[in-house]
Amino acid sequence: MVIAIRNLQEAGARKIVCMGILPLGCSPRVLSEWRDSPVDTFDKKGCVKEMNELIGKYNEVMGEEMVKLNAEFEDTQMIFCDVYKGMTEIIGNPTRYGFKESKSACCGVGWYNASAVGCVAMEIACRDVRRYVWWDLYNPTGVVNSLLADSAWRNQPFSTICHPSTVQDLLLT
């Protein structure tokens, strides 16, 4: 990512937003694949600890690298948005955000609607997608993406996902 961001800057980009990685250890596909693992494999939210720890570390290091890049390229404004934080808040408190289901996919087949096949036809999709955190094997629903986008834009409902500023502030400067 650092190389890609350097390439963008060298190509003339002066405002760059870098998104972190979602908590894939909570995704329906991963939960399906790890379902027979020992209990201590999972965290308090029911997600695969090891995977999310690696993703969390990646996001942390990427945020630190963005700070260094901002200092190096004074004529370029860059922000890092750690959507992992917002997603883990939703997964840990689904009803607070209007969700009923935070483990299974809305569209798919098998364990967690993600072990046999993903979303290959709308006929296998859930009836009320607004109640689900995950759309398919690894992707959040549009409702979740809207919450994350609103937070990246203006720090609501999750503050400090993006730093050193919001996307809105980046565009206004």
The structural domains of the chain, with segments of one domain joined by +, span 2-172
What's the pTM?
Answer: 0.92
Give the whole-angstrom CA distance, residue 88 versus residue 49: 12
Task: Give per-residue pLDDT as tens, 75-101.
Answer: 999 999 999 999 999 999 999 999 999
Task: Give per-residue pLDDT as tens, 101-126.
Answer: 999 999 999 999 998 888 999 999 99
Give pLDDT, residue 76. Answer: 96
Task: Give per-residue pLDDT as tens, 15-60.
Answer: 999 999 999 999 999 999 999 999 999 999 999 999 999 999 999 9
Give pLDDT, residue 116. Answer: 82
Find the range with the poorest average confidence among 110-114, 136-140, 157-161.
157-161
